[in-house]
Every structure is written in C-alpha cells, then in structure tokens.
Chains A and B, each alone.
Chain A
C-alpha cells in the first residue's frame, strides 16, 4: 500500500516538474519574443536626449582652438570623434598624447580627434603643444564650461562618439594603443 502511494506521489512530482519546465519554456519564449527590439537605424537616434554618458547624444559645444578660430562639435556629425579631456599638469594625459597624435595621422579623414584642455590658459596650452608638436585641434576650455557639461571629474577622460553623434563609451584613465584600436574598429563599423 505504502509503495503504491509512494509511486503515485513520485509520478505526481514528475508530472509537476514536467509542467513547470513546459510553463517556463513557453513563458520564456513568449517574453523573449515580446521584448525583441526593432532593428533601429542609428540615424533615428538623433532625436534622443543629450548627456555625457554612453548611449546619449554628445552635448554640443563651441570652443576656441589654439589658433583662435571657433570649433563646434556638431560640425563633425557624420564622422566619428574622439574627444579627449586633458591638462598639462596631468602626467597620464601627457603620456597618451603621442598615441593620440599617431592615431590622428593614421586615421586622418576617417576619425576626428579633439583635445579639450581642462581649465588652463592659452599660453600653457601653447607651451604644451610646442613641446609635443600635436597636429590635431587643441581646444581651450579655461572656464571648465565644457568639462562641467561633460561631467569630467578625472583626467584624462576620453569620449568615443560615433558618426551619428552618439556617445559609445566614456573612458577614464590612460589609453593604450590596443584599447584605442579596439574602440576605433567599433566606431568605424558601418
């Protein structure tokens, strides 16, 4: 009698577990299919909010270059931009500059590199450039306006912006060639 009861209980258990598996499978598949995202054309993202984090549109700004002309970020729409915040007193910033320069030369016409100086005078930036001979635009943000707009709290900070003006990644700390190459490959993908 007891054995029969045990067998019935085991059959019931097995049935319950099979029903649970079936239910989990059906619910899981239904939810996966329901939450499937429409394949978005990246150009539609232009209507998204601005913010200094990945997935948001890069906030637009106008800053003077070392040569005195004004440069607007949105002028570069259609081309990936690497926006690097730096200062002359920041040793890691100085260390990564030759790499940025090499990349700017290697990717000229395909990727724009902009170096935004954080809070220093034109003279300091000029002296820095005299020492390093950089050819990519150095922008002067001596009142921290763009730095604040981009929530820059540590240097160097680099924003990888795709050709639609969307921030793909915010990188805090010193870059190396491999990291830069890896991010550039992703930015240059159609």
Chain B
C-alpha cells in the first residue's frame, strides 16, 4: 500500500519503521500494565526487551551461520545492512528461551507476568499486521465485497486489516477478563485462545500464506495448536480457582 515513506530527501521503508515503533509501544505498554498490576515493572520491561533482543540476535546469527560462506570474507555484513537477513524459525524459540531464562533468574510469578505481557504481545502482532499491510509482501484472496481493496487492478480481502481487528477483539477480551479477575493467567490464556482462533479463521483469506506440501496453511496449524493448549490450560486454571479461590484470586 505504502512501501516507503518520503520525508524530504529521505526515503524510509515503511514496514521496518512501523515495526520499530511497534517494539517501543510494546515495551511501553507492558511496563505500564505491569505497574498497574503491582508487578515489578522494570523486570517485566527487561523480560520483553531480553526476549526481543535475543530473538533478533538469534535470528540474525542463525542466518549468518546458514550462509557463512557469504559472510566469511565480509564480516562487516554481519552487522550491516540490518533490514533483511533473519531466520524467523530460529528467532522465535530463542526469544522465548531468553524470556524464560530471565523470568526464572528473577523469579517472576508465571501467571501474573503472562497476564501483564498479553496486551504488549497482542499489540506486537497487530503492528506486524499493519507493517505487512503498508509495505509487506502479504495480500488477501480476491473478493467482490465492497470493503475489498484494489491492488493492481484486482480487488482483494484486506486480510491484514482483519488481523488488526482480531487483535482489537482479543485486547478487549483481555481487558474484560483482567477486570473480572477470575484466575491468574485467565486474561492471558483467554485472549491468546481468542486471538489464535481468529487468526486460524482469517488465514484462510490470505492468498500467499505459507503452506505445507499438502496445501495446509502453516499458520492455521500453529494457531490451532495454541488455541487448544490455551483452552486446556484455561480450564485447569479456572477449576483450580474454584477449588482454591484464595491462591488464584487476582483481586487481592
């Protein structure tokens, strides 16, 4: 839609620009919510920062390792340019691992911390959808609906806008669940299950979605597994809160 942003003589690629702002927003929101929920806001902020940093560095170093012959004679290339050259499948687990390590080291309480992290994570996903809409490679399937967007003479589903709305719905649900204070972790698990379910549904409208060799949408398979896991854990958390309300009540 708008792959570059012109500021006088300066031309900025929109997607990385939006993602950088999104990272900052994610950290800021997480810190505020942690403070609101009487958690150690500095440690929660650091947890997200550590995960983002480890994920980025891990994704970059994996890419460098996989293409070492190309970097061997050009070590400067490892640190520049940074706009491309990441291995996502390595960055995600490394980021998660760093977060777990940090949380264990600082003995952060699991469920309250996850509850505080949920809005930031959802915002992060929303920012990725927005970046993809503005300057990314993704686009929706063809449609005749009036809200379809014209993309080089073809009307298509604005699938990234659907994803943004899904993030909004999940945020609203998080807010409702967090206010009801039924069980620690309930707000995180409920909003994660809802967001996963919506992404599972919406990915069918993405035209260039990554597929398995059998034609199944990879994102759908991942979100399906996450949705079921979250629902299962949510059931456990809620039944635990019924059996032992004092330990799991958030209102205290």
> B-contacting residues of A (Cβ < 8 Å)?
10, 13-14, 17-18, 20-21, 24-25, 28-29, 31-32, 34-39, 49-56, 151, 153-154, 169-174, 176-182
With A13-B242, A21-B235 as known contacts, state yes or no: A32 contacts B200, CB within 8 Å. Answer: yes
CA distance in complex: A54, B137 (Å): 6
At the interface, yes or no: B239 with Cβ under 8 Å from chain A?
A: yes
With A10-B239, A24-B231 as known contacts, state yes or no: A53 contacts B214, CB within 8 Å. Answer: no
With A24-B197, A181-B67 as known contacts, state yes or no: A55 contacts B242, CB within 8 Å. Answer: no
Q: Is A53 a contact partner of B85 (Cβ separation < 8 A)?
A: no
Q: Is A37 a contact partner of B67 (Cβ separation < 8 A)?
A: no
Enumerate the 9 nearest inter-chain pairs by beta-carbon distance, A residue then B residue, closest first.
Answer: A51-B152, A35-B204, A177-B70, A178-B67, A178-B70, A54-B137, A17-B235, A154-B11, A37-B215
At the interface, yes or no: B93 with Cβ under 8 Å from chain A?
A: no
Q: Is B84 a contact partner of A171 (Cβ separation < 8 A)?
A: yes
Q: Is B153 a contact partner of A153 (Cβ separation < 8 A)?
A: no
Which residues of chain A come closer than 8 Å to B216, judged between CB atoms? 32, 36-37
Contact indicator per residue, chain B 116-154, by CB within 8 Å of chain A (1) or not (0): 000000000000000000000101000000000001111
Selecting from B18-26, B42-50, B220-228, the interface stretch reads: B220-228
At the interface, yes or no: B89 with Cβ under 8 Å from chain A?
A: no
CA distance in complex: A182, B216 (Å): 24
Q: Is A31 a contact partner of B137 (Cβ separation < 8 A)?
A: no
Q: Is A174 a contact partner of B217 (Cβ separation < 8 A)?
A: no
- B72 → A minimal CB distance (Å): 10
- B247 → A minimal CB distance (Å): 16
Which residues of chain B come closer than 8 Å to A10, judged between CB atoms? 239, 242
